[in-house]
A and B are shown apart, each in its own frame.
Chain A
Amino acid sequence: GENVEQHPSTLSVQEGDSAVIKCTYSDSASNYFPWYKQELGKGPQLIIDIRSNVGEKKDQRIAVTLNKTAKHFSLHITETQPEDSAVYFCAASKNTNAGKSTFGDGTTLTVKP
């Protein structure tokens, strides 16, 4: 089955700096890659997603890049703010098994004011 590895497990940055979280996946058939943000005591919430026919997607301070050849995708957060502090999860899914998605183990991001 699919295996998703996420790095780093913890990340600490100063307010205003950029943060990058990387995920690799094993199944070349995977074609949907969402990123979720989980704040303390809450359920995960989608912040951005990308499909395999696109190499990059941006939404204000957040961007995701996808390298299908290398089977990795990354989350980029620019101009970080204290409210960006949370746990971030990547995931991968594919058409032929749309009932299942595989999540990475999560990255705890701390933005220091």
Chain B
Amino acid sequence: NAGVTQTPKFQVLKTGQSMTLQCAQDMNHEYMSWYRQDPGMGLRLIHYSVGAGITDQGEVPNGYNVSRSTTEDFPLRLLSAAPSQTSVYFCASSLSGTLYEQYFGPGTRLTVT
């Protein structure tokens, strides 16, 4: 099993550009989520999904969109990048929600200039 994979590993965007961060898992997990990690702060939940076709907002959803068309994939879209979105983004999955171990991907480091 590859576990949770994320692409790209690094990305630089200009203000106003859009892009999609990819996330995939091969563990047949129902639950997937996106977090951002900023220096000195914990992981903040952006969006999550409890199964294919179902998504919901987390703590900091503004400026991001998600969709879950398959169990395996959970892409995160930045609609119009802003410098405040400079961060490290982690995708995670678990068997069923946050009451079980979450498996994290290696992260995407995004810089918006």
Contact = CB atoms under 8 A, between A and B. Distances in A.
Interface of A: 1, 4, 6, 9, 31-32, 34, 36, 41-46, 49, 89, 91, 93, 95, 98-101, 103-106
B99 interface: yes
Contact of A99 (B35, B56, B104): B56
B40 interface: yes
Interface in B1-42: 4, 31, 33, 35, 40-42
Q: What DSSP secondary structure best describes chain B's contact surface?
A: strand
Interface residues of B, number: 27
B2 to A, nearest CB: 13
A9 B45 CA distance: 20
A32 B43 contact: no
A91 to B, nearest CB: 8
B105 interface: yes
Contacts of A44: 43, 90, 104
Given A42-B107, A43-B106, A98 B97 contact: yes
B44 to A, nearest CB: 8
Interface string B28-66: 000101010000111111001010000010110000000
